[in-house]
Structure 1
Amino acid sequence: MKITPRRLAIGMSLWIPNLFSGIRVRRYSDDWTHATVELHVNAFTRNFVGTAFGGSMSAMTDPYFFMLVMHQLGRDYVVWDTRGEIEFVKPGRGVLTAEFHVPTEKAAELRDRARGGRKVLEWFATEITDRDGDVVARVRREVYVREKRRVTEARGGAAPAA
């Protein structure tokens, strides 16, 4: 069964860590350049003072940049989420939203930079907003990209030492 953007959005929303954390993937674009994710602040995702738990806000941003890059680059590349930073701007209440964008041009650039098995680290940024559009948090995620060794070697190149 082929993974389509719609199937992945449903699957990620039902994935146990997201399901019980109030995280819902609303959509992936058909070209894998965009994703929309929501966090529903509820009894399980609130902190002691009744606002969104910072760990839940971090979790709602965890895999989405790397997944957009991975689906655009295809199976010939290793893609990982390596680290993240979050700046909390104001208390989060209700439904929070994060939009993730990886333009095709950026994916092509990463593909070129990783050619030959080179390690590439790239930062991506998004904001978490509330229903009024106010920024609740600013988030940066670092994505690792490398062409797989078998691909580099099949091209006649020597893969860099790990």
Structure 2
Amino acid sequence: MDSSGDTPSHWLRRLLLALIERFPRLVFNLYPPYWGTGIWVREISPDGRSIRVEMPLRFYNLNYYGTHFGGSLYAMCDPFLVWMADRNVGPGYRVFDKGGTIRFRRPGRGRVRVHFRLTDDQLAAMRAAADRDGKADVPLAAEIVDAAGETVAEVEKLLQVRRKDFVEPRPPGVPATGAGRADRR
């Protein structure tokens, strides 16, 4: 550890964040879980508000029935909406992934695609809700489609947008520091 208090893991994290900011498509495509399932980021708009992702059907991402494995379909959608919102909502906010659901509509065969988009109205609504309450849960949806444009699955992600200066209120009777420490000994 050097005099600034940075550990090697901090440097690695900073490097990764810098690479994602400068070369997001490359970093996503080289990420082992995506590379290993055949998930491919085809396009990221310069402002980060639009991302196109696709996945071909291969022997390593199919299920027992010869169609796309559901976990791989969900993985296609996992980080992108959070990354897009965090990058675009503004410097006074943080975005966290709170949950997600997938609803399968038909078996996925061949190449499947998903196009994520964030509009100015969606971003303004996120900021307004977080400004009003300090934090806000925001649902965003996307559709995974096949080559014919038929819906294979619908994905909904639940994001939490927080103001960076927001402090969660403590329940009554909980001390400001060391809460519960004596109980755990």
Q: Does the pair score TM above 0.5?
A: yes
Paired amino acid for 2:85? V
User: How big is each residue's C-alpha offset from its partner over 1:84-125, in whole Å with a ceiling of 9 and x where there is no partner?
Assistant: 111111111111001111102211221222127712111111
Residue 32 of structure 1 is matched in structure 2 by 48
Paired residue secondary structure (2:27): helix
Is 1:13 aligned to residue 29 of structure 2? yes
Q: Distance in 1 between matches of 2:104 and 2:66?
A: 15
User: How big is each residue's C-alpha offset from its partner over 1:34-85, in whole Å with a ceiling of 9 and x where there is no partner?
Assistant: 1111112211110011100000001101111111101102443221121111
Residue 118 of structure 2 is matched in structure 1 by 102
Paired amino acid for 1:66? V
Q: Distance in 2 between matches of 1:54 and 1:74?
A: 33
Paired amino acid for 1:13? N
Which aligned runs of 4 or more in structure 1 are off by greater than 4 angstroms? Answer: none
Is 1:76 aligned to residue 92 of structure 2? yes
Q: Distance in 2 between matches of 1:54 and 1:75?
A: 35
TM-score, scaled relative to structure 1? 0.86
Does structure 2 conserve the Cα–Cα contact (< 8 Å) formed by 1:100 and 1:126? yes
User: How big is each residue's C-alpha offset from its partner over 1:5-49, in whole Å with a ceiling of 9 and x where there is no partner?
Assistant: xx1012101101111011111111112221111112211110011
Is 1:161 aligned to residue 162 of structure 2? no
- Greater share of strand: 1
Q: Distance in 1 between matches of 2:62 and 2:76?
A: 14
Q: Pick the aligned partner of 2:75 from 46, 59, 66.
A: 59
Paired amino acid for 1:8? P
Residue 155 of structure 2 is matched in structure 1 by 139
Shift of residue 126 of structure 1? Answer: 1.0
Q: Distance in 2 between matches of 1:92 and 1:133?
A: 11
Residue 180 of structure 2 is matched in structure 1 by none
Residue 115 of structure 1 is matched in structure 2 by 131
For this pair of structures, how many residues does the alignment match? 152
Paired residue secondary structure (1:44): helix
Paired residue secondary structure (2:88): helix
Residue 11 of structure 2 is matched in structure 1 by none
Shift of residue 160 of structure 1? Answer: 4.0
**Taking every aligned residue pair, what percent have the same amino acid on both sides?**
32
Paired residue secondary structure (2:60): coil
- Greater share of helix: 2
Does structure 2 conserve the Cα–Cα contact (< 8 Å) formed by 1:117 and 1:148? no
Is 1:44 aligned to residue 69 of structure 2? no
Does structure 2 conserve the Cα–Cα contact (< 8 Å) formed by 1:119 and 1:144? yes
